[in-house]
Structure 1
Amino acid sequence: MSTPAGDKRMTVTQATFIGVGSMVGAGIFALLGAAGAVAGSAVWLSFLIAGAIAGLQGYSFAKLGSVYPSGGGLLHYLAKGLGEGHVTGITSWLFYVTAAIVTAMVASSFGGYASSVLTDSDPTWTKVFAIAIVLVMAALNVVGSTAVAKVQSLIVKVVLTILTVFVISTLTNFDPALLAPSGYPGLREIIASVALTFFAFLGFGVITFTAKDLPNPSKQLPTAMYLALGIATTVYVGVSLGVFGTLTADQVVDYGPTALAEAAKPTLGQFGYVLMVITALFSTAGATNSGLYPSAGMTRHLASVGQFPPALGGTVGRRKAPVGLLLLTSFTLVFIVLFDLNKIASIGSAVALLVFTMVTLGHFRLRGETGANVVVLTVALVSTLGTFLVFAGTTLADEPATAVALVAIVVLATATDLVWKRRRDDPAPLGSTRDSGSRS
């Protein structure tokens, strides 16, 4: 159920910015300290390696997207490779629910920054601001993909402009001694930190869902994929060089999420600190927008092939608001209000890595149609699965709440898929057997 070609209004640039906005969100602020604790001032190398791994996965998605463009995005690729059975169904429910968790986390980051500026970090106001940004971005998505693309392009342009100013100003005055290779840790530590920095790239998967809005997705989607990954990698490497060329690794770790703002002070003063806060607000708002965007096309497609109930593919109200979007928004608000998202902070990363791995596994069966290079696919599969295993052995081991939540969501997704498909495949319409029984 794709949008008619005449109604498609998204450009390659806009699709690219949806991907960039999804990647360059709160991650760059939160990751520098955590990665610096492992890789020291070599974090820029970690981002470069993570970008290369993401590029390999992006190659797989681009090849699949050029042959199978769909509003179902990467979940459609999964079905093409592994069929429309329980594996694809369970993965689809898993992806949908975790999308709400990730969007709630990003929105909560927006609420935290807004609250720190306006209410001295009042926890209640943090949730209020988080709820507000979700509702605003949900309303924008109801208006349509054209509005989403235009607003996202504006947000990303502001973020990239400010980050460019930051990179230029810090690199113009950086201390070469702070970035000297002699101060780098061993290769093992640098590789270990890739499991952290790779998570800053996970948002590129959202680009696969833009196919329904692109006039020529077979050519435009791969271009948007590569452009978005190239821009994000350049930004991450430049920012990490600027931060670690201005502050010591220990200072970056101590400052945590405010490391960028602190690194801007020596050259831009308090104005630089304010700029970084503005960047954080824009980037988290953009990431919230990107998090909600795929839901309409995804649920419409999954409902059309029977993986989701038909109702999830429908619309309601005068504005024809997609039910899938409204439900995802509701889940997101529930997570914001009721849960401590810090305790399950890595669940989205774990699910994304598992989904990416399964999509690439399915791609091996389709490479005759996509023309993908088997060596590149193999390296993409090994690197992505390896990243997940390293992540599971470190982050999940240190975050038992995340591990428990992941298992609970997998069980819930499995149960939902089994129950729905049992109802779907029941040869007797609901009510007919019961009605006849009651009459007899």
Structure 2
Amino acid sequence: MNDEKDEVTLNRSLGLWSALALVIGTIIGSGVFVRQAAVLDDAGSTTNAMLAWLAGGVITLTAGLTIAEIASQMPKTGGLYYYMEKIYGKVWGFLSGWMQIIIYGPAMIASLAAYLGILLVDFFDMPHSWTVPIALITVALVAGLNLLSNRYGATFAIVTTICKLLPVIALIGFGLFFGKEDAFAQSFSSVHQSAGNFGVAILATLFAFDGWILVANLGDEIKNPEKRLPQAITIGITLVLGIYLLVSFGVFRSMPATQIHDLGIGAIPYMAEKDFGAIGGKLLSIGIIISIVGCMNGKIMTFPRIMYAMARDHELPFAKQLSYLNRHTQTPIVSVITTVAISAIMILFFDADRLSELCIFTVYCFYVMTFVGAFILRKRHPNLKRPFSTPFFPITPIIAIFGSLFVIVSEIHSDLLGVLFSLVFVLIGFPVYYYCRKHYQIQD
């Protein structure tokens, strides 16, 4: 039975376009559509808002360039979990993976599904009682797709990425060619007393850039990963940065800052309907729906790979089942089903959006450790030929470290109880780790 199992491996079939679509698709969800007013409110002017999006993008890009170097040296399934284990040891790798598979990943999937349920109910003018069932059905359908060969999930990622870019291009194009406002000189701090908190504005943009690292979870399924993973991460983040800046510019060219502030999350839907009519508003809604489905697909495709990798290393209970690969599809179907089952429980009984927020602190703690790991690896292997080297080293990883520390400090300042909860949950992983070490008779 073990010999038969060993013959089944993950399918290394994903090329650069698939990896690139997953990077873009897992970053661009609803953030760029709903956070414009929030960033503007905190920045206090359109110029500062644009600078906040730029700063968030630059911090994310430095993080991506740093991880790209590490990924090129160890392009294995599990991504952050694998890097932490190889740099700091098995217990740190386990804790980073534990937090992602039990709360962070499922909560993000559940949060997207819940928001999607609201959008679909509103779009089709259905009773609000249908919100939760639609969220569950959507998660089940996307999960079903990812029980098939990874080619299907990757193709779906490419298609949804192309579709979600169409409304983005429309918003950008209208602002560039028909907008009449000054995108760089509008200020409204006089009507909004809390305006001008530039750091909070950057923090809001960083959350809209999150998700770029998840493609690294597919290291064993990407062709020539030493080269393709760094390319997908760096090109993907750069493209998203350009898209976010252009969308903001288009919005600020099309609407007065005070109106964007007054409309809040309804600013872009209002803009679409005003510029393109009722049909335009509907098309934008469809674009946002597709965007969220594509983002959900990327997360359902990548997070179970962490669970699979941990189970393969005998670091989880029911390791034999969770590390099972279907012989025909070569996908970790039990890990996929388990991940979406946890998400479904969160949709039914918890505030998934709040749960995902609680994990931000610990996620960024592990990010900082991994960025520092780039220095450790260079010192540990000074003569190693790296397939990809972070440009402008050490400045680039230092910016990534300080950007992540900014998020950590901000979380402590704004949500200390949430930070403590997330730390407690990580600590719960210790007995699980040592139970598995003892159960599977693994020596340290």
TM-score, scaled relative to structure 1: 0.87
Residue matched to 1:67: 73
Go from structure 1 to structure 2 and tell me whether the alpha carbon gap of 1:150 and 1:3 turns closer, same or farther (over 3 Å shift). Answer: farther
Q: Is the 8 A contact 2:181 2:255 kept in 1?
A: no
Are residue 380 (structure 1) and residue 400 (structure 2) matched?
yes
Residue matched to 1:305: 313
Q: Partners of 2:435 and 2:133 in 1: how far apart?
A: 35
**Between Structure 1 and Structure 2, how many residues are aligned?**
420
In the TM superposition, 1:45-124 aligns within 5 A as: 45-84=51-90, 86-97=91-102, 98-120=104-126, 122=128, 124=129
2:146 to 141, 153, 157: 141
- Judge which range, 195-204 or 251-260, deviates more: 251-260
Residue matched to 1:430: none
Cα offsets for 1:378-404 (capped at 9, x unmatched):
22112211222123323x25xx5x446
Residue matched to 2:239: 231
DSSP-derived class of the 1:363 partner: helix
Go from structure 1 to structure 2 and tell me whether the alpha carbon gap of 1:33 and 1:20 turns closer, same or farther (over 3 Å shift). Answer: same
Q: Tell me, which stretches of 5 or more residues in structure 1 are unaligned?
A: 428-440
Are residue 278 (structure 1) and residue 305 (structure 2) matched?
no
Go from structure 1 to structure 2 and tell me whether the alpha carbon gap of 1:383 and 1:198 turns closer, same or farther (over 3 Å shift). Answer: same
Q: Partners of 1:11 and 1:128 in 2: how far apart?
A: 35
Q: Partners of 1:333 and 1:203 in 2: how far apart?
A: 20
Cα offsets for 1:228-282 (capped at 9, x unmatched):
1012111111111222222333433443333211122332122221122111110
Q: Is the 8 A contact 1:195 1:388 kept in 2?
A: no
Once the two structures are TM-superposed, the CA of residue 307 in structure 1 deviates from its matched residue by: 2.8
Go from structure 1 to structure 2 and tell me whether the alpha carbon gap of 1:160 and 1:334 turns closer, same or farther (over 3 Å shift). Answer: same
In the TM superposition, 1:419-430 aligns within 5 A as: 419-425=435-441
Q: Partners of 1:15 and 1:65 in 2: how far apart?
A: 13
Q: Which amino acid aligns with 1:35?
A: V
Q: Partners of 2:413 and 2:365 in 1: how far apart?
A: 15
2:343 to 332, 345, 349: 332
1:35 to 31, 34, 39: 39
DSSP-derived class of the 2:75 partner: coil
Residue matched to 1:364: 375
2:430 to 407, 414, 418: 414
Q: Which has the higher helix share?
A: 1
Q: Is the 8 A contact 2:80 2:97 kept in 1?
A: no
Q: Partners of 1:360 and 1:188 in 2: how far apart?
A: 30
Once the two structures are TM-superposed, the CA of residue 56 in structure 1 deviates from its matched residue by: 0.6
Q: Is the 8 A contact 1:204 1:229 kept in 2?
A: yes
Once the two structures are TM-superposed, the CA of residue 155 in structure 1 deviates from its matched residue by: 0.4
Once the two structures are TM-superposed, the CA of residue 130 in structure 1 deviates from its matched residue by: 0.9
Q: Partners of 1:415 and 1:172 in 2: how far apart?
A: 60
Residue matched to 1:346: 357
Go from structure 1 to structure 2 and tell me whether the alpha carbon gap of 1:253 and 1:307 turns closer, same or farther (over 3 Å shift). Answer: farther
In the TM superposition, 1:382-401 aligns within 5 A as: 382-394=402-414, 396=415
Q: Is the 8 A contact 1:195 1:391 kept in 2?
A: no
Go from structure 1 to structure 2 and tell me whether the alpha carbon gap of 1:2 and 1:296 turns closer, same or farther (over 3 Å shift). Answer: farther
Once the two structures are TM-superposed, the CA of residue 36 in structure 1 deviates from its matched residue by: 2.0
Cα offsets for 1:356-398 (capped at 9, x unmatched):
112112222112344542332222112211222123323x25x
Go from structure 1 to structure 2 and tell me whether the alpha carbon gap of 1:325 and 1:342 turns closer, same or farther (over 3 Å shift). Answer: closer
Residue matched to 1:438: none
Residue matched to 2:3: none
Residue matched to 1:432: none
Once the two structures are TM-superposed, the CA of residue 219 in structure 1 deviates from its matched residue by: 0.6
Are residue 191 (structure 1) and residue 199 (structure 2) matched?
yes
Residue matched to 1:206: 214
Q: Partners of 2:361 and 2:339 in 1: how far apart?
A: 19
- Judge which range, 71-80 or 53-62, deviates more: 71-80
Q: Is the 8 A contact 2:181 2:252 kept in 1?
A: no
Q: Which amino acid aligns with 2:324?
A: G
Q: Partners of 2:195 and 2:427 in 1: how far apart?
A: 38
- Judge which range, 316-325 or 208-217, deviates more: 316-325
Q: Partners of 1:72 and 1:377 in 2: how far apart?
A: 21
Q: Which amino acid aligns with 1:71?
A: T
Go from structure 1 to structure 2 and tell me whether the alpha carbon gap of 1:9 and 1:193 turns closer, same or farther (over 3 Å shift). Answer: same
Go from structure 1 to structure 2 and tell me whether the alpha carbon gap of 1:37 and 1:9 turns closer, same or farther (over 3 Å shift). Answer: same
Q: Which amino acid aligns with 1:136?
A: L
Q: Is the 8 A contact 2:64 2:233 kept in 1?
A: yes
Cα offsets for 1:39-65 (capped at 9, x unmatched):
132322211111100111101111111
Q: Which amino acid aligns with 1:390?
A: S
Q: Is the 8 A contact 1:53 1:380 kept in 2?
A: yes
Residue matched to 2:136: 131
Go from structure 1 to structure 2 and tell me whether the alpha carbon gap of 1:2 and 1:315 turns closer, same or farther (over 3 Å shift). Answer: closer
Q: Is the 8 A contact 1:29 1:256 kept in 2?
A: no
Residue matched to 1:259: 267
Q: Which amino acid aligns with 1:23?
A: I
Cα offsets for 1:88-144 (capped at 9, x unmatched):
21221001121000111011111110011124560x311111111110111111102
Q: Which amino acid aligns with 2:239?
A: I
Q: Which amino acid aligns with 1:353?
A: Y
Residue matched to 1:431: none
1:44 to 50, 66, 73: 50
- Judge which range, 383-392 or 364-373, deviates more: 364-373
Once the two structures are TM-superposed, the CA of residue 409 in structure 1 deviates from its matched residue by: 2.7
Q: Is the 8 A contact 1:19 1:207 kept in 2?
A: yes
Q: Which amino acid aligns with 1:55?
A: L
Once the two structures are TM-superposed, the CA of residue 348 in structure 1 deviates from its matched residue by: 4.4
Residue matched to 2:333: 322
DSSP-derived class of the 2:147 partner: helix
Q: Which amino acid aligns with 1:169?
A: F
Q: Tell me, which stretches of 5 or more residues in structure 2 are unaligned?
A: 1-5
DSSP-derived class of the 1:236 partner: helix
Go from structure 1 to structure 2 and tell me whether the alpha carbon gap of 1:305 and 1:159 turns closer, same or farther (over 3 Å shift). Answer: same
Q: Is the 8 A contact 1:171 1:242 kept in 2?
A: yes
Q: Partners of 1:403 and 1:250 in 2: how far apart?
A: 34
Q: Partners of 2:307 and 2:275 in 1: how far apart?
A: 48
Q: Partners of 1:121 and 1:31 in 2: how far apart?
A: 27
